[in-house]
Structure 1
Amino acid sequence: MYQTPLKDIWVQVNSYIVKQDQLEKYIETLSDADFMGRWAAEPNENYQLFNKEYYWSDGYRFFQNAYYCGEQWVNISNRYGKYSEVLEKVLVPSFQYLSERPEDKFEDGSISWYKPCEEIFNTLQLVYGNEDATLYDRNGNIVCFDSKELLHDNIGFFMDANVFKDFLIKKGYAVFWTILAEKKILQGALSANKVSYSMPHISGVFYYDSDESLVHKLSQFDS
């Protein structure tokens, strides 16, 4: 496998909601952070529930605690605690539903998809439709969905930008995104001509400034 070295790029983008007055502190603290190792909090996943039991059932409430990693507001550094003492908790906007039931999957065989966090669901008064991973407002308009269902591609969780902006304003929140991207060279482990290549990765944050312009702060690290 990989007799000829192949270029590959891996990219991960995560979003975090914080109180508006905490955004600047987060950006200052994390602007030069290296997210390699995926130590920053990521969407929680749960496979014990049925898809549409989320948000309302007794089963869902049972898992909403620290023991089952079901809390909505969490420390940004979920493993090492490096930033826990200087930064307030963040709200992870989505979590991952995971099913082990063969009939509970998409056409491509996917058995997991993203759902909005409870605070977004309740504040926007979202409702289920006929689909598995698509949620609507009370007027029947699509508000958010997992790309696997409507776009037939595994590229993430989508939400109506205007609706999301109104949610942030109403709650006094702000949002920022972290990005981790790695450039790799794929080659056979036992290849006689195996060469050691530099594989740098990029880490950084994106956010909207006071002029509503998207700003990014990126750093490059050598793996």
Structure 2
Amino acid sequence: MRLRNKPWAKDFMGEHPDILIHEDEKTVKDWKEIFGNENPIHVEVGTGKGQFVIGMAKANPDINYIGIEHFDNVIVSALEKAIETDKPSNLRLLRGNGANLEELFETGELDRIYLNFSDPWPKSRHAKRRLTHESFLARYEHVLRKQGEIHFKTDNRKLFEYSLVSISAYGMILQDVSLDLHAEMPEDNIMTEYEEKFSAKGQPIYRLEAMYNN
């Protein structure tokens, strides 16, 4: 997907350090100090325009949420949306690379990681780039508490099948698997922008929850 250039994005992001943190400014900070409490921390890797992570923060005020996004031209949209919703105090946006989680969080600091509609990287030679590849699962395990969780959603059947195999082979415990999430929509389901788009076209949404067996 080609991203539309927003030359004003960097300056706008710099005007809101209370909610948006840049990876260049952070190597393992005390997130409990940043949030001002010791509530559980949930992270969305690849937060896109922020609809999911902002919705989760508003629905669950006793949980701290961090949305990570690599591209200025995308995360600035999440920032705008957060401002429109009065910047929930339990929300932070992090402009950074989800591959660098071990540089951003302490060991065992997180309670849950969300992977929503990640790039499927369909070619076999690109399998290591998939966010459910074993190398990424190892990174998540490092920053998650014992028996921490991954929640994964996608519209891509092949990526979902790959993820089921990869996660099972890693030794994680599958807790909840849905081949059509919207057939019986959970009351607490917060949709991403992509989820709304694909479900409107009648495409099934695949979802799983998995827990580390440590």
Alignment TM-score, normalising by the size of structure 1: 0.27
Higher helix proportion, which one? 2
Between structure 1 and structure 2, the one with the greater Rg is 1
TM-score of the superposed pair, with normalisation by structure 2: 0.28
